Structure 1
Amino acid sequence: MDDVIIIGGSFAGLAAALQLGRARRKVTVLDTCRPRNRFGHHSHGVLGHDHKPPLDILAEARQQLARYPTIRLVNARAESVSGAIDDFCVVTDDNESLKTRRLILSYGVVDQLPDVPGFVESWGTSIVPCPYCDGFEVADQHWGVVWSGPHSHQSVRLFCDWTNKLTVFADGHDITADIQADLAHRNIPVIDGRITEIAHHEGHISTVNLDTHRNISVDILFAQPRNKPSARLHESLGLATVDTPTGTVLKVDERRQTSVPGIYAAGDLATPFLPSVTQSSWQGAMAGIFAQQSMLV
């Protein structure tokens, strides 16, 4: 029996495994090798790894974990989870049945990209969600912002620290009069109409094309599409969730424990706002430490 099975082997899952391996706990990490930020060319704001490709950082992390004999990395998908604290059972997609005392869920989320020609091709290159991740490299350029709800107002205010040339694309949303007034005060134009196409060259935007027959040139487009958990294990386990403007995340307490004893969560799957590599790594480390401490006798 494992001490901990970690479902999801990106930044949060590997950070948890590192802490547990150093505590000499027996750990299995199940991973499908499809991290959310695999579309990004570089990962920014990560201390010691700034501007490195995210897949390179993960590959290096896996190599470092190899020195810990109690950690096992398995390329497999968890199909089902059952049981209770000290006696969980995980069945993988190759029908392997694994027993464990604790679980850490870090299988992340998937972005639900709109069915707009050119959007998928530009995602991670010139359409990005996070200014902390990519804003510095495109500072002082012309930013476009895809409006997705009232929370976008805070994003626009935030973006002003990086550039003073912003254009908001309403994309079919009704923006309230008070927000419209604030945007006008900041000299930020609002473009009506729905986005019908992202004209690009190898993922680099040339124009945002609208159903009003307007084509607007921008250098970078910030968008926050809705996302959803990349697996449904939390549903079968009956874990409590929290609704956010961009999707659903797992509810955790101050020790990263979910609503079910013995099950912990970390990373984008349990991050309501501004997910990042740094935050995922920190949460994963804490989940691993708290899971270990919960097994002390």
Structure 2
Amino acid sequence: MYRFLLTPRWWGINVFVLLAIPFCVFMGSWQLSRFEARVQDHRTAGELAEKAEHEAARPLAELLPVDKATSGRQATASGRYGKQLLVPGRELDDRQGFYVLTLLHTDDGKALPVVRGWLPGDADRAEAPAAPTGEVTVTGALQASEVPGENGVPARGGLPSGQTGAISAATLVNLVPYDVYDAWITLDKADSGMKPVPATAASDTGLDLKAFQNLGYTGEWFVFAGFVVFMWFRLLRREVETLRDAELGLLPDGEPSEGPAAQEKANA
């Protein structure tokens, strides 16, 4: 009765099923591993943030380049403040305002972007406090360069002179005539009249939408695998029932006499 499984049509169906099921299981397992990796990154980021609160600040050069392990760590650098910029469209305590960003010229010949604090209001009208003069040493949380349009960073263009939409070396090199570190720090204690800007977690370390997309894709791939098995059994059952009906002469009038079931009947 099951000799129809050896027909070319069913060979094609069987090969498809044998390839589709492991592929779906593999893709589902891979998506699950991506979700688990993001959960682990989130846990690790939390542990590093807690550890950073209690550890001594380290020289900036020891923590570069910024990665998931060094983002949020306490860094210290010395130099003289130079050009000051405003970073509009930044929210703190559910209020809109702007960061006060000042470039610190270090002995290495490069400038370090330093967020000295946050002020509420309109960046076009506000007058930010001037930076301290002379040699200074700053301490704050190390941060990776921002990417416009990601992690809440506005993707704004056409800003007035003296403003920047993102704190990144790629953006700042177009505004100043000297090299800029591919990193920045936010002061633990904001300068007078401003609120400190809290450090943010490194990118791709939180349980964000991407993480739950991975979890959703995991379920979809396993559902696909189950659907393939279900359809195979359904086709098999339909073929067997058709064959039995043909043997009993129960095929409706006008039904084609060709096909696996009819061939099976003819060979009987």
Range class of TM-score, shorter chain: under 0.3
* TM-score, normalisation: structure 2: 0.27
Larger fraction in strand: 1
* TM-score, normalisation: structure 1: 0.25
